[in-house]
Chains A and B, each alone.
Chain A
């Protein structure tokens, strides 16, 4: 078993009066892909967004419990959210490149972190694009707008942009839900490659995707963590009937 990277302890979250997460406790290991599955509105995306405090942006959110990353509580008052987010990259459901050139998209994060040396920036951009397996497709048009890329390329560019900040953890919120099967396969293969260097947490409502890419799977339902374990186990012999019903499509 690998070292634990993220731990949540009795993590609950409310949107106003509405409970979105109910006392979720998980341990997410380092350099593995952990997938969160469950029906829409089960709290899996909310959970993901607690890990980099993205929920802070939404008014009236109350969080209780703990989220420990490398043993440190990220909801501690002393934690600098901006620095935290540098450590935890995020890839969103809809590919969201900035209306800038491909180069500028990837260089955005490093520039914000104060890297202004042209040579250093170039190196980071090239490495990030290579790691995101999109270099060959864009190397001749780094100065073109990122918005001219296809959906799948845009999403890989967004992954490259995330990698450029050199995070330790990458959160992915349904990263392939808007893509065609070929692009999806590329993203999945990329995830598989990336886990060698990053801890990846992915939310998906595509169970097959969770099965294909993840080492561990957590099943969420109505804000509760129903079952968490090795993907192999969850998809062959789940312990809970609710999990079984969901993955076999007999839900509700």
Chain B
């Protein structure tokens, strides 16, 4: 028995609850026998991976569900060992090259060549090709993407690639042009309520509509999050009655606290306080870009209209720097100082530059 989010995951294209048009298209693609490389993209929790799994089942039949997980070790030119987890069935293989950081190029090159050069031996297989699923394709390094691009053309007969990414912006154009782009949009609230209802029915309880609405609102289009919240809620207050509060993840609450601190007071002491909180968040392995985004959104909610654009602009500015640089805390603090300065200038109604 596992978590609901996994237990009631749709297994075939027919089970999918929303984006029926997309499902139909995938079904016809799978049936056509002319399956292209594909790039699934869309926000987190929209159902990309579920859809990929369903498509695979449509392509190869239930055999794809028999998977095994193992580790492969790759050797870098500098003799460092890289461990990569592989999930594979007879018909497909699934990798997350970003696990290896900078060395993803080696994984891509070696693994894909190896797969591409062996033909499908199972004569009963529905398709002559194998499928390689590359998760988190948007965090592939440029080298790795470049390595991918020739392989995709050359070994087309033996292999199809399905990329899965949050956005296409960080994929190089040649890759994008070689794939069929599939956008999996976040479900709208009706679709989400339907799914929640469906899960509740399957589990065997009644989900009050107002609770469902609350969850849907909180999840903001993230189906996985909605289901996790639902289960947490059901676990914590089994009868789902009375005054329910949707639990936010702790890091999010904490980020909001940080945002409040920034808005309340703009002093050096406060800068230090905020810094300590950022350290705490970072040490919980929350990605710094997520921290910056969450805090910035909260700050924007709480300041005057005139400041909003500026704050977001600087958040974007420092996010870029953060991605390029290596000391995340420097850039987080730089943003905080910037915001405090902006806020003060706004508060006193004038530009204080030159008053020191």
Same complex: no
